[in-house]
Structure 1
Amino acid sequence: MTEAETRSAVVEREIPHPAEKIWRALTQPHLMEEWLMKNDFQPKVGHRFNLRGEWGGVLDCEVLTIEPNRTLAYTWNFAHEDAAYALKSVVTFTLTPTGTGTRLRVEQAGFRPEQKQAFGGARAGWQQFLANLEETLARID
């Protein structure tokens, strides 16, 4: 399947915090757990880690890109016995400084055309994750 045959869920948000602070929340495991999921993340290209959801699901991930305070990308793969629910995707966080903070762009790429429910779930899910992220950022220095 070519990239053209897959879809990407994109969520963008202007956040009134500097990129360095957001980067910490994106890459420090204890902060990631507050807004995303339990994890064993390390900010090193090639590091394999899991994200463990409250629903009991486990995502298999691998760090693909690290550009401090700018770009973070990792695989976001969910194995399932029913191929319609299995997902192989890549999540990319892009931070762009603005006059009032940082524009955060999250793109989850790799949804197959028949994965309409997963695609819709990702779009809604990332909105909630980013709302949680903003709450976490408001609590930390």
Structure 2
Amino acid sequence: MADAQAIVVEKVLLFPPEKIWRTLTTSEVIAKWLMPNDFAAVVGHRFTFRTKPMGDWDGVVQCEVLACEPPRMLRYSWKGGADSNPAYGSRLDSEVTWTLTPVDGGTHLRMEHDGFVFPGNKIAFDMMSPGWGNVMDAIGRETAQI
């Protein structure tokens, strides 16, 4: 996205792409490493993530699957927040892209959350940057359980 900042997290996981893909695209499993949701890996599917409300934000992230190429790439929109919520940043209109690349002994998993516009989204960017690193670790743990 032009003139926007992105959070990028990359990690090699010791699982084949197909197994990680299941972790990224199975609603019940996503709920374990991210948030409760009604996700389906179908382009055009609209879904929500739900978490604890913060300030004026209702805790709902509105999303839509924009691209889905199993087991290589998944992209969805990520819209949430409230303009009247300065303590947690302004409304966020962004995209999350997961890219899975086979490597010796596993898969290189790359997550890019793009679309943070400063100064309005700086608080969200600063809060979510370490959070996505924790999510990547949780994906590894959940994939091991599948």
15-24 or 114-123: which moved more?
114-123
Distance 2:100 2:42 in 1: 18
SS in 2 for 1:43: coil
Identity of aligned residues (%): 42
Instruction: Pick the aligned partner of 2:135 from 116, 129, 132.
Output: 129
Aligned equivalents of 1:68, 1:4: Cα separation in 2: 27
How far did residue 5 of structure 1 move? 1.6
RMSD: 1.3
| 2:56 alignment partner in structure 1 | none
Equivalent in the alignment of 1:92: 97
Q: Secondary structure at the match of 1:129?
A: helix
Residue 104 of structure 1 aligns with which residue? 109
What residue ranges of structure 1 are gaps of 5+ in the alignment?
none
Q: TM-score, normalising length from structure 1?
A: 0.92
Q: Indicate the SS of the match to 2:2.
A: helix
Length, aligned pairs only: 137
Tell me whether 7-16 or 112-121 shows the greater mean CA deviation.
Answer: 112-121
- 1:65 aligned residue: 67
TM-score calculated relative to the size of structure 2 = 0.89
Q: CA deviation at 1:89?
A: 0.3
Quote how far apart the aligned CAs of 1:73 are.
0.3
Q: Distance in 2 between matches of 1:122 and 1:79?
A: 13
The residue identity in structure 1 corresponding to 2:134 is: Q
Number of the residue aligned with 2:34: 36
Distance 1:64 1:125 in 2: 23
Which amino acid letter does the alignment assign opposite residue 103 of structure 2?
T
- 1:62-106 alpha-carbon deviations (Å, 9 max, x no partner): 000000010000001004142742100000000000001000000
Post-superposition offset of 1:4: 3.2
On the 8 A contact 1:60/1:77 being kept in 2, the answer is: yes
Q: Is the 8 A contact 1:77 1:87 kept in 2?
A: yes
Residue 118 (structure 1) aligned with residue 124 (structure 2)? yes
Q: Distance in 2 between matches of 1:59 and 1:47?
A: 14
Counterparts of 1:33 and 1:14, CA distance in 2 = 22
Counterpart amino acid of residue 126 in structure 1: W
Structure 1 contact 5–113 (Cα < 8 Å) conserved: no
User: Which residue is equivalent to 1:9?
Assistant: 7
1:77 to 79, 98, 109: 79
Give 5+ residue unaligned stretches, structure 2.
54-58
